[in-house]
Protein backbone atom coordinates (compact mmCIF):
# COMPACT_ATOMS: atom_id res chain seq x y z
CA UNK A 1 0.00 0.00 0.00
CA UNK A 2 1.07 3.59 -0.65
CA UNK A 3 1.77 5.75 2.38
CA UNK A 4 -0.36 8.94 1.93
CA UNK A 5 2.33 11.05 3.57
CA UNK A 6 5.00 9.70 1.22
CA UNK A 7 2.69 10.24 -1.75
CA UNK A 8 2.11 13.89 -0.81
CA UNK A 9 5.85 14.40 -0.32
CA UNK A 10 6.51 13.08 -3.80
CA UNK A 11 3.96 15.50 -5.24
CA UNK A 12 5.76 18.41 -3.54
CA UNK A 13 9.26 17.30 -4.55
CA UNK A 14 11.16 19.71 -6.83
CA UNK A 15 10.51 19.20 -10.53
CA UNK A 16 13.66 19.08 -12.73
CA UNK A 17 14.06 22.22 -14.81
CA UNK A 18 13.83 20.38 -18.13
CA UNK A 19 10.52 18.80 -17.07
CA UNK A 20 9.19 22.15 -15.87
CA UNK A 21 10.19 23.74 -19.17
CA UNK A 22 8.54 20.98 -21.22
CA UNK A 23 5.27 21.18 -19.27
CA UNK A 24 5.32 24.99 -19.39
CA UNK A 25 5.80 24.82 -23.15
CA UNK A 26 2.84 22.46 -23.56
CA UNK A 27 0.57 24.59 -21.36
CA UNK A 28 1.68 27.72 -23.20
CA UNK A 29 0.96 26.23 -26.62
CA UNK A 30 -2.43 24.84 -25.54
CA UNK A 31 -3.48 28.09 -23.89
CA UNK A 32 -2.38 30.32 -26.76
CA UNK A 33 -4.13 28.04 -29.28
CA UNK A 34 -7.31 28.30 -27.22
CA UNK A 35 -7.06 32.11 -27.03
CA UNK A 36 -6.38 32.32 -30.78
CA UNK A 37 -9.34 30.05 -31.58
CA UNK A 38 -11.66 32.13 -29.39
CA UNK A 39 -10.45 35.37 -31.00
CA UNK A 40 -11.00 34.11 -34.54
CA UNK A 41 -14.31 32.47 -33.70
CA UNK A 42 -15.73 35.65 -32.15
CA UNK A 43 -14.42 38.83 -33.84
CA UNK A 44 -16.39 40.98 -31.36
CA UNK A 45 -14.47 39.47 -28.41
CA UNK A 46 -12.35 41.82 -26.31
CA UNK A 47 -9.87 40.82 -23.64
CA UNK A 48 -8.53 42.90 -20.76
CA UNK A 49 -5.20 42.82 -22.60
CA UNK A 50 -6.66 44.77 -25.54
CA UNK A 51 -6.74 48.08 -23.69
CA UNK A 52 -3.13 47.53 -22.56
CA UNK A 53 -2.13 46.93 -26.17
CA UNK A 54 -3.95 50.07 -27.29
CA UNK A 55 -2.35 52.03 -24.43
CA UNK A 56 1.11 50.75 -25.35
CA UNK A 57 0.65 51.88 -28.95
CA UNK A 58 -0.60 55.26 -27.70
CA UNK A 59 2.46 55.74 -25.49
CA UNK A 60 4.78 54.82 -28.37
CA UNK A 61 3.14 57.70 -30.27
CA UNK A 62 3.46 59.96 -27.19
CA UNK A 63 -0.29 60.02 -26.59
CA UNK A 64 -1.75 59.97 -23.06
CA UNK A 65 -3.59 56.60 -22.72
CA UNK A 66 -6.07 58.09 -20.23
CA UNK A 67 -7.35 60.43 -22.92
CA UNK A 68 -7.94 57.76 -25.57
CA UNK A 69 -9.31 54.83 -23.55
CA UNK A 70 -12.82 54.97 -22.12
CA UNK A 71 -16.45 55.72 -22.99
CA UNK A 72 -16.77 57.44 -26.36
CA UNK A 73 -13.00 57.60 -26.89
CA UNK A 74 -10.72 56.06 -29.51
CA UNK A 75 -10.72 52.77 -27.59
CA UNK A 76 -14.41 52.76 -26.71
CA UNK A 77 -15.31 50.79 -23.58
CA UNK A 78 -17.78 51.46 -20.75
CA UNK A 79 -15.06 52.27 -18.19
CA UNK A 80 -11.90 54.43 -18.18
CA UNK A 81 -8.30 53.22 -18.00
CA UNK A 82 -7.90 52.01 -14.41
CA UNK A 83 -4.17 51.18 -14.48
CA UNK A 84 -0.91 53.06 -14.20
CA UNK A 85 1.03 53.56 -17.46
CA UNK A 86 3.32 50.77 -16.23
CA UNK A 87 0.53 48.32 -17.08
CA UNK A 88 1.03 48.99 -20.77
CA UNK A 89 4.67 47.89 -20.59
CA UNK A 90 3.66 44.20 -20.68
CA UNK A 91 2.05 44.82 -24.08
CA UNK A 92 4.96 46.74 -25.63
CA UNK A 93 6.71 43.62 -27.04
CA UNK A 94 3.51 42.77 -28.92
CA UNK A 95 2.56 46.28 -30.08
CA UNK A 96 3.70 45.67 -33.66
CA UNK A 97 1.41 42.65 -34.11
CA UNK A 98 -2.26 42.47 -34.99
CA UNK A 99 -4.58 42.32 -32.01
CA UNK A 100 -5.27 38.59 -32.45
CA UNK A 101 -1.59 37.73 -32.85
CA UNK A 102 -0.67 39.95 -29.90
CA UNK A 103 -3.22 38.19 -27.67
CA UNK A 104 -1.92 34.80 -28.80
CA UNK A 105 1.72 35.66 -28.17
CA UNK A 106 0.98 37.24 -24.81
CA UNK A 107 -1.13 34.25 -23.74
CA UNK A 108 1.69 31.85 -24.62
CA UNK A 109 4.32 33.83 -22.68
CA UNK A 110 2.24 34.31 -19.54
CA UNK A 111 0.87 30.76 -19.49
CA UNK A 112 4.35 29.28 -19.87
CA UNK A 113 5.84 31.56 -17.21
CA UNK A 114 3.18 30.96 -14.57
CA UNK A 115 3.31 27.19 -15.17
CA UNK A 116 7.11 27.11 -14.94
CA UNK A 117 7.09 29.07 -11.67
CA UNK A 118 4.26 27.09 -10.08
CA UNK A 119 6.04 23.80 -10.76
CA UNK A 120 8.93 24.89 -8.57
CA UNK A 121 6.64 23.71 -5.77
CA UNK A 122 6.25 20.24 -7.32
CA UNK A 123 3.79 18.47 -9.58
CA UNK A 124 1.17 19.05 -6.90
CA UNK A 125 0.86 22.62 -8.21
CA UNK A 126 -0.47 21.46 -11.58
CA UNK A 127 -4.14 21.79 -10.53
CA UNK A 128 -3.53 25.54 -10.65
CA UNK A 129 -3.38 25.53 -14.45
CA UNK A 130 -6.41 23.24 -14.65
CA UNK A 131 -8.56 25.40 -12.37
CA UNK A 132 -11.54 27.63 -13.01
CA UNK A 133 -9.37 30.52 -11.85
CA UNK A 134 -6.90 29.84 -14.66
CA UNK A 135 -9.72 29.31 -17.16
CA UNK A 136 -11.27 32.69 -16.41
CA UNK A 137 -7.97 34.52 -16.16
CA UNK A 138 -6.72 33.30 -19.53
CA UNK A 139 -10.06 33.54 -21.31
CA UNK A 140 -10.08 37.28 -20.59
CA UNK A 141 -6.28 37.69 -20.31
CA UNK A 142 -6.61 39.19 -16.86
CA UNK A 143 -3.90 40.22 -14.39
CA UNK A 144 -3.91 37.30 -11.96
CA UNK A 145 -1.39 35.09 -13.87
CA UNK A 146 1.07 37.99 -13.93
CA UNK A 147 0.47 38.69 -10.25
CA UNK A 148 0.98 34.98 -9.51
CA UNK A 149 4.35 35.20 -11.27
CA UNK A 150 5.18 38.25 -9.16
CA UNK A 151 4.16 36.42 -5.99
CA UNK A 152 6.41 33.47 -6.84
CA UNK A 153 9.41 35.42 -8.16
CA UNK A 154 10.50 38.86 -6.86
CA UNK A 155 12.25 39.43 -10.21
CA UNK A 156 8.75 40.20 -11.51
CA UNK A 157 8.52 43.05 -8.98
CA UNK A 158 7.87 45.68 -11.66
CA UNK A 159 4.43 44.10 -12.23
CA UNK A 160 3.15 45.30 -8.84
CA UNK A 161 3.35 48.90 -10.08
CA UNK A 162 0.96 48.17 -12.95
CA UNK A 163 -1.99 47.54 -10.67
CA UNK A 164 -1.05 48.95 -7.24
CA UNK A 165 -3.99 47.47 -5.31
CA UNK A 166 -3.18 43.95 -6.56
CA UNK A 167 0.49 44.70 -5.93
CA UNK A 168 -0.27 45.27 -2.25
CA UNK A 169 -1.80 41.78 -2.11
CA UNK A 170 1.39 40.33 -3.58
CA UNK A 171 3.55 42.13 -1.03
CA UNK A 172 1.32 40.92 1.81
CA UNK A 173 1.57 37.35 0.54
CA UNK A 174 5.35 37.43 0.35
CA UNK A 175 5.91 39.12 3.68
CA UNK A 176 9.68 38.49 3.91
CA UNK A 177 11.99 41.49 4.05
CA UNK A 178 14.58 40.01 1.70
CA UNK A 179 12.17 39.99 -1.25
CA UNK A 180 10.89 43.50 -0.48
CA UNK A 181 13.98 45.06 -2.08
CA UNK A 182 13.50 43.62 -5.62
CA UNK A 183 9.77 44.32 -5.45
CA UNK A 184 10.24 47.94 -4.45
CA UNK A 185 13.14 48.41 -6.88
CA UNK A 186 11.14 47.00 -9.80
CA UNK A 187 8.10 49.05 -8.87
CA UNK A 188 10.20 52.21 -8.54
CA UNK A 189 11.73 51.71 -12.00
CA UNK A 190 8.31 51.06 -13.57
CA UNK A 191 6.75 54.08 -11.87
CA UNK A 192 9.73 56.25 -12.81
CA UNK A 193 9.27 55.34 -16.48
CA UNK A 194 5.55 56.04 -16.09
CA UNK A 195 6.27 59.58 -14.88
CA UNK A 196 8.72 60.06 -17.72
CA UNK A 197 6.20 58.98 -20.37
CA UNK A 198 2.97 60.35 -18.83
CA UNK A 199 3.91 63.01 -16.24
CA UNK A 200 0.32 63.72 -15.12
CA UNK A 201 -0.72 60.08 -14.72
CA UNK A 202 -1.24 59.98 -10.89
CA UNK A 203 -4.04 62.56 -11.01
CA UNK A 204 -5.66 60.90 -14.03
CA UNK A 205 -5.37 57.43 -12.49
CA UNK A 206 -6.82 58.59 -9.17
CA UNK A 207 -9.73 60.32 -10.91
CA UNK A 208 -10.50 57.07 -12.76
CA UNK A 209 -10.44 54.69 -9.79
CA UNK A 210 -12.18 57.13 -7.44
CA UNK A 211 -15.23 56.99 -9.70
CA UNK A 212 -15.25 53.16 -9.84
CA UNK A 213 -18.09 51.88 -7.60
CA UNK A 214 -17.23 48.22 -8.31
CA UNK A 215 -13.79 48.55 -6.69
CA UNK A 216 -14.13 47.90 -2.96
CA UNK A 217 -12.62 45.63 -0.30
CA UNK A 218 -14.22 42.32 0.57
CA UNK A 219 -14.75 43.53 4.14
CA UNK A 220 -17.47 45.85 2.78
CA UNK A 221 -19.18 43.11 0.76
CA UNK A 222 -21.82 40.84 2.35
CA UNK A 223 -20.04 38.15 4.35
CA UNK A 224 -16.59 39.41 3.36
CA UNK A 225 -15.75 40.64 6.85
CA UNK A 226 -15.28 36.98 7.84
CA UNK A 227 -11.98 37.07 5.95
CA UNK A 228 -10.66 39.34 8.72
CA UNK A 229 -10.40 36.17 10.81
CA UNK A 230 -7.29 35.39 8.77
CA UNK A 231 -5.50 37.79 11.13
CA UNK A 232 -5.52 34.95 13.67
CA UNK A 233 -2.91 33.20 11.47
CA UNK A 234 -0.96 36.29 10.48
CA UNK A 235 2.39 34.49 10.51
CA UNK A 236 1.29 32.41 7.51
CA UNK A 237 1.74 33.84 4.01
CA UNK A 238 -1.63 32.61 2.77
CA UNK A 239 -3.38 34.13 5.79
CA UNK A 240 -1.75 37.51 5.21
CA UNK A 241 -2.90 37.37 1.60
CA UNK A 242 -6.52 36.71 2.61
CA UNK A 243 -6.36 39.44 5.25
CA UNK A 244 -5.04 41.94 2.70
CA UNK A 245 -7.72 40.82 0.22
CA UNK A 246 -10.37 41.67 2.81
CA UNK A 247 -8.99 45.20 3.25
CA UNK A 248 -7.63 46.33 -0.14
CA UNK A 249 -10.17 47.75 -2.63
CA UNK A 250 -10.31 45.54 -5.71
CA UNK A 251 -12.71 44.25 -8.36
CA UNK A 252 -12.21 40.58 -7.67
CA UNK A 253 -13.60 37.32 -9.05
CA UNK A 254 -12.68 33.70 -9.54
CA UNK A 255 -9.64 34.60 -11.66
CA UNK A 256 -7.94 36.33 -8.73
CA UNK A 257 -7.92 33.13 -6.69
CA UNK A 258 -5.21 31.77 -8.99
CA UNK A 259 -2.75 33.33 -6.55
CA UNK A 260 -3.87 30.88 -3.85
CA UNK A 261 -2.17 28.06 -5.78
CA UNK A 262 1.19 29.73 -5.13
CA UNK A 263 0.97 29.03 -1.40
CA UNK A 264 1.94 25.69 0.20
CA UNK A 265 -0.78 23.04 0.01
CA UNK A 266 -1.11 19.32 -0.54
CA UNK A 267 -2.02 17.84 -3.91
CA UNK A 268 -5.50 16.92 -2.68
CA UNK A 269 -6.06 20.42 -1.34
CA UNK A 270 -4.96 21.79 -4.72
CA UNK A 271 -7.48 19.56 -6.51
CA UNK A 272 -10.27 20.67 -4.18
CA UNK A 273 -9.29 24.30 -4.64
CA UNK A 274 -9.30 23.88 -8.43
CA UNK A 275 -12.78 22.34 -8.37
CA UNK A 276 -14.09 25.11 -6.12
CA UNK A 277 -12.76 27.77 -8.50
CA UNK A 278 -14.57 25.99 -11.34
CA UNK A 279 -17.77 26.18 -9.27
CA UNK A 280 -17.29 29.92 -8.71
CA UNK A 281 -16.47 30.54 -12.37
CA UNK A 282 -19.38 28.60 -13.82
CA UNK A 283 -21.84 29.96 -11.25
CA UNK A 284 -21.02 33.47 -12.46
CA UNK A 285 -21.04 32.42 -16.12
CA UNK A 286 -24.51 30.88 -15.83
CA UNK A 287 -26.11 33.99 -14.33
CA UNK A 288 -28.20 36.32 -16.53
CA UNK A 289 -26.17 39.11 -18.19
CA UNK A 290 -25.36 41.85 -15.68
CA UNK A 291 -26.68 45.35 -16.21
CA UNK A 292 -23.25 46.90 -15.69
CA UNK A 293 -19.76 46.15 -14.40
CA UNK A 294 -20.72 46.83 -10.78
CA UNK A 295 -23.41 44.14 -10.92
CA UNK A 296 -21.09 41.70 -12.72
CA UNK A 297 -18.34 42.17 -10.13
CA UNK A 298 -20.87 41.80 -7.31
CA UNK A 299 -21.96 38.39 -8.62
CA UNK A 300 -18.38 37.24 -9.23
CA UNK A 301 -17.16 38.42 -5.84
CA UNK A 302 -20.03 36.74 -3.99
CA UNK A 303 -19.49 33.43 -5.80
CA UNK A 304 -15.75 33.60 -5.18
CA UNK A 305 -16.27 34.34 -1.50
CA UNK A 306 -18.70 31.46 -0.95
CA UNK A 307 -17.09 28.80 -3.12
CA UNK A 308 -13.39 29.58 -2.70
CA UNK A 309 -12.30 32.16 -0.14
CA UNK A 310 -14.34 31.03 2.87
CA UNK A 311 -13.39 27.34 2.41
CA UNK A 312 -9.76 28.45 2.06
CA UNK A 313 -10.13 30.45 5.27
CA UNK A 314 -11.39 27.36 7.11
CA UNK A 315 -8.35 25.36 5.96
CA UNK A 316 -5.99 28.16 7.01
CA UNK A 317 -7.57 28.50 10.46
CA UNK A 318 -7.01 24.77 11.02
CA UNK A 319 -3.27 25.29 10.56
CA UNK A 320 -0.89 26.53 13.29
CA UNK A 321 0.02 30.19 13.37
CA UNK A 322 3.48 29.55 12.00
CA UNK A 323 4.72 28.99 8.50
CA UNK A 324 7.65 29.60 6.15
CA UNK A 325 7.83 32.35 3.59
CA UNK A 326 7.21 31.38 -0.02
CA UNK A 327 10.97 31.31 -0.71
CA UNK A 328 11.55 29.00 2.28
CA UNK A 329 8.64 26.69 1.44
CA UNK A 330 10.18 25.92 -1.96
CA UNK A 331 13.26 24.57 -0.20
CA UNK A 332 11.37 22.35 2.24
CA UNK A 333 11.09 19.29 -0.03
CA UNK A 334 14.88 19.19 -0.46
CA UNK A 335 15.38 19.35 3.32
CA UNK A 336 12.92 16.57 3.99
CA UNK A 337 14.54 14.43 1.32
CA UNK A 338 17.93 14.87 2.98
CA UNK A 339 16.48 13.93 6.36
CA UNK A 340 15.02 10.70 4.98
CA UNK A 341 18.46 9.55 3.91
CA UNK A 342 19.30 7.31 0.98
CA UNK A 343 16.78 4.73 -0.21
CA UNK A 344 17.23 1.27 1.22
Cα(111)–Cα(274) distance, integer angstroms: 17
Indicate the pLDDT class of residue 10, thresholds 50, 70 and 90: low
Using pLDDT thresholds of 50, 70 and 90, give the confidence band for residue 23. Answer: very high
> What was the pLDDT predicted at 11?
74
CA distance 49 to 55: 10
How many whole angstroms separate alpha carbon 138 and alpha carbon 47?
9
Do residues 262 and 118 lie in contact, with contact meaning Cβ atoms separated by under 8 Å?
Answer: yes
Please compute Rg for the chain using Cα positions: 20
Give residue 24's pLDDT.
Answer: 97
Q: Which of 65-69, 157-161, 179-183, 204-208 has the highest mean pLDDT?
A: 65-69
- SS3 of the chain: helix, strand, coil, percent, to 5: 70, 0, 25
According to DSSP, the residues that pair with 75 across neighbouring strands are: 69
Q: Which residues lie below 8 Å from residue 320, measured CB to CB, with a gap of 6+?
A: 233
How confident is the model over 45-83, as pLDDT tens digits? 999 999 999 999 999 999 999 999 999 999 999 889 999
Residue 178 has pLDDT above 60, yes or no: yes
**Where do the DSSP E strands lie in the chain?**
69-70, 75-76
Where do the structural domains in the chain lie, given as residue ranges? 9-338
State the average pLDDT over residues 192-212: 88
Amino acid sequence: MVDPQTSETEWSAPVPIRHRAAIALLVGVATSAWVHWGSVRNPAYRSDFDQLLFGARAILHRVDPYGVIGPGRAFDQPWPFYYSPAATFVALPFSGLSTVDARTGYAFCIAACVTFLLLRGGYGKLPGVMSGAYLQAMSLLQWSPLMTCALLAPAWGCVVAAKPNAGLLVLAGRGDRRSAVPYLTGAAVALGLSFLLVPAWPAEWWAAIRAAPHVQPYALRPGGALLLLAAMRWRRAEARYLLALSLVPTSTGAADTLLLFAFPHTFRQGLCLALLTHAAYFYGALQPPAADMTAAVRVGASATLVFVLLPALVVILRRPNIGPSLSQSRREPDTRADQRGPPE
